[in-house]
Amino acid sequence: MRRLFCNSEPGTAALRARSPGALIALMLAAAFSAGLAGCATRPTRGQLAVEYYNLATAYFELEDWEAASRYYRRALAYDSRHRRSRFNLARAEIERGASREAADILSRLKAEDPDNLLIVQLIGYAHYRAGDLESAREVFEELYREAPYDERIVENLAMVYAAEGALESAAELLAGAAEQQDDPVPFLMGAVELSYEREDRETAVRYSERILRETEDVARAAGELGGVAWEHADYGSMRRWFELVLEEDSDDPDALFGRAAALLLAEELDEGVAGLELAIEAGFEDYERLQKLLKDENFTDAEALREQLKDMGFCRLQL
């Protein structure tokens, strides 16, 4: 499930192309130019605050939380009211485990702007990262009552429910909210995963079937569902979903391999090997997935398959 606040603030996309080293070079060049030009062109405190904010954000993108925190604080030393620096500093403090510092920053931000949902969401996330799931749930449930169709709020409330062990509630929340999304598949896929995690295969299949009814790309969704079913040892559904892909394209090498793997894992060795040969003939070359199959703890015929693969010319693999 996607993690809250993993992306930078809007308007900073261009910074992603700059490395921290490049930003440092730009700042030094700016300072050198200012020195040559004299005091009249010396950067203002506001300009320096923006440059340090940009540098901090570059480090944030690299998940270097210590450096990000350090440079956001430098930005605030030049402009203590710079809201984006304050907000992102709280994010960096949360990521580096400094929950108390983050709480102080966020409490002041909320006092200044109590209706800002982003600030309230970050407070909920801070509680979650600190392990205070009850407080996190209270924050996100209140937000959900105010904005029940907000994708991020729904996602993070489900995340808290799952962390509390309420997997069924988390799945039902995602499945219900999927109806209000332009693309319902991500939320429904989350419901599938959560249902498998609570060992409710029947419900996982029901959500999977709903995905296939509502998606615009059946083959892609079926392929993804086949992979999810594999992760949870549901080999019957795995075979079913990959066969659905093959109805769209009978020569799809990945789907041919997926179907063959499902057969092999279900201990249907002869048919599985024949299917694997078809996948290889169709151009299957994903050796990492092949190794995954051979190392699957549920695959009892791995040694026999290794020998057959060597006979088929796969000696270059470390099987």
Q: What average pLDDT is seen over the chain?
A: 87
Asked whether residue 79 is assigned to any structural domain, the reply reads: yes
Q: DSSP secondary-structure letter at 3? A: P
Residue 43 has what pLDDT? 87
Furthest C-alpha separation in the chain: 82
* pLDDT digits 0-9 by tens, 223-249: 999 999 999 999 999 999 999 999 999
Q: Taking a C-beta distance cutoff of 8 angstroms, is the pair 306, 294 a contact?
A: yes
Which of 40, 67, 96 is the endpoint of a domain? 96
d(CA 79, CA 258): 57
Residue 247 has what pLDDT? 95
The SS3 call for residue 74 is helix
Residue 157 has pLDDT above 50, yes or no: yes
Return the amino acid letter for 185: V
Which of 51, 70, 96 is the endpoint of a domain? 96
At 24, is the pLDDT very low, low, confident or very high (cuts 50, 70, 90)?
A: low
Asked whether residue 101 is assigned to any structural domain, the reply reads: no
- Mark whether 191 and 253 lie in a shared domain: no
- Mark whether 208 and 233 lie in a shared domain: no
d(CA 118, CA 77): 24
- Mark whether 263 and 195 lie in a shared domain: no
* pLDDT digits 0-9 by tens, 92-122: 999 999 988 898 899 999 999 998 999 999 9
- State mean pLDDT over 41-70: 93
d(CA 82, CA 74): 11
Check residues 274 and 33 and name the one with the higher pLDDT. 274
Q: Comparing C-alpha atoms, which of 139, 59, 58, 155 is closest to residue 103?
A: 139
Residue 36 has pLDDT above 50, yes or no: no
Question: What is the residue range of 182's domain?
Answer: 165-216
> Using CA atoms in the order 250, 254, 258, 259, what is the torsion angle rounded to 10 degrees?
10
Check residues 222 and 16 and name the one with the higher pLDDT. 222
- % of the chain residues with pLDDT over 70: 85
Q: How many structural domains comprise the chain?
A: 3
Which is it for the CA torsion 219, 221, 222, 228, positive or negative?
A: positive
Return the CATH number at 24: 1.25.40.10
- State mean pLDDT over 169-186: 95
Which of 216, 249, 276 is the endpoint of a domain? 216
d(CA 218, CA 224): 10
- State mean pLDDT over 275-290: 91
